[in-house]
Amino acid sequence: MTDNTTHFGFRKVASEDKAGLVRAVFDSVAGKYDIMNDLMSLGIHRIWKRLALQLSHVRPGEQVLDLAGGTGDMTRLFHERVGTQGQVVLSDINAEMLRRGRDRLLDEGIAEGIRYARIDAEALPFRDNQFDCVCIAFGLRNVTHKEQALKAMYRVLKPGGRVIILEFSEVKGELLKKTYDLYSFKVLPLIGKLVANDEDSYRYLAESIRMHPDQETLRQMMQVAGFERTEYFNFTQGVVAVHRGYKV
């Protein structure tokens, strides 16, 4: 019998319900998303994103798909690289996050060379072999069927294209693990309550990190999806990792 359940944080829910539950989380946190990212990571998320950009090897004129792009941090970085001769598609399943990303980029005067799409990472509405790079930053852990999303990313990449997955991962070192757990389950929800008036959503975010596949498991999942030359790079002792794979 097929198990039609999945994890929403530490809870088990029906698979068809997860997307709606995740959408509700990001509807709730969208207004404070950027400031919370800075507070939660002490600004280090900006360094992690630039490291992911460097590992993408994106060049001028290329086509990039930024999945779960939210408020547009990675899209801005990719746009700086590809220039107006290339194109970046900022996408998100959540309409409110996508709207805020679009408004933010337009307010900064970034318009040419960017498209916007409200899409599900599991069912990409693009033709085969379209993009030079597909990136998903801090979004894969919220996807219900990760294997299906990875296959979709592989399909839309050009031969020679690469996928970049920036995500929280398994921390290395027992002392750091204990400190990180204390921060995640005690401090983070408190910050969410005080700043975003939403303790529950940030508790979910902490739980979702613990339920995400570790570095080696995700690398193997990428291989099953078809990616070759798969590898990962740990940052901040594995608090986050960038996984990279190629379509040959």
pLDDT, position 2: 52
Strands (E), 59-216: 63-67, 87-92, 114-118, 131-137, 157-168
pLDDT, position 64: 98
Name the pTM for this structure. 0.93
Checking if the pLDDT of 59 tops 80, the result is yes
Nearest to 166 by CA among 127, 136, 189: 136
Q: Which two tokens stand for residue 156?
A: 């839309």
Do residues 218 and 243 make contact, with C-beta atoms less than 8 angstroms apart?
yes
**Average predicted confidence (pLDDT) for the chain:** 94
What whole-number distance in Å separates Cα of residue 78 and Cα of residue 60?
9
Checking if the pLDDT of 57 tops 60, the result is yes
> At residue 49, what is the residue type?
K
- The three-point CA angle 49-51-53 to 5° equals 70
User: What ranges do the domains of the chain cover?
Assistant: 20-173+202-246
Is CATH 3.40.50.150 the right assignment for the domain spanning 20-173+202-246?
yes
Instruction: Give the other-Cβ count within 10 Å of 59's Cβ.
Output: 12
Checking if the pLDDT of 223 tops 70, the result is yes
pLDDT, position 139: 95
User: pLDDT tens for residues 16-52?
Assistant: 999 888 888 888 888 888 888 888 898 999 999 999 9
> For 216-234, what is the mean pLDDT?
98
Q: How far apart are the first and last CA of the chain?
A: 36
Q: Is 232 exposed, middle or buried (0-12, 13-18, 19+ CB in 10 A)?
A: buried
> For 92-99, what is the mean pLDDT?
94
Q: Which of 43-57, 73-87, 198-212, 224-238 has the lowest mean pLDDT?
A: 198-212
**pLDDT over 90, % of the chain:** 82
Instruction: Give the other-Cβ count within 10 Å of 128's Cβ.
Output: 9
- Lay out the sheet containing 228-235: strands in order across: 114-118, 87-92, 63-67, 131-137, 157-168, 240-246, 228-235
What whole-number distance in Å separates Cα of residue 164 and Cα of residue 154?
11
Checking if the pLDDT of 1 tops 50, the result is no
Checking if the pLDDT of 142 tops 70, the result is yes
Nearest to 177 by CA among 245, 236, 248, 97: 236
What whole-number distance in Å separates Cα of residue 37 and Cα of residue 195?
11
Q: Which of 29-38, 111-120, 126-135, 237-246 has the lowest mean pLDDT?
A: 29-38
Residue 57, sorted as left (phi over 0), alpha (psi -120 to 50) or beta, turns out to be: left
pLDDT, position 204: 92
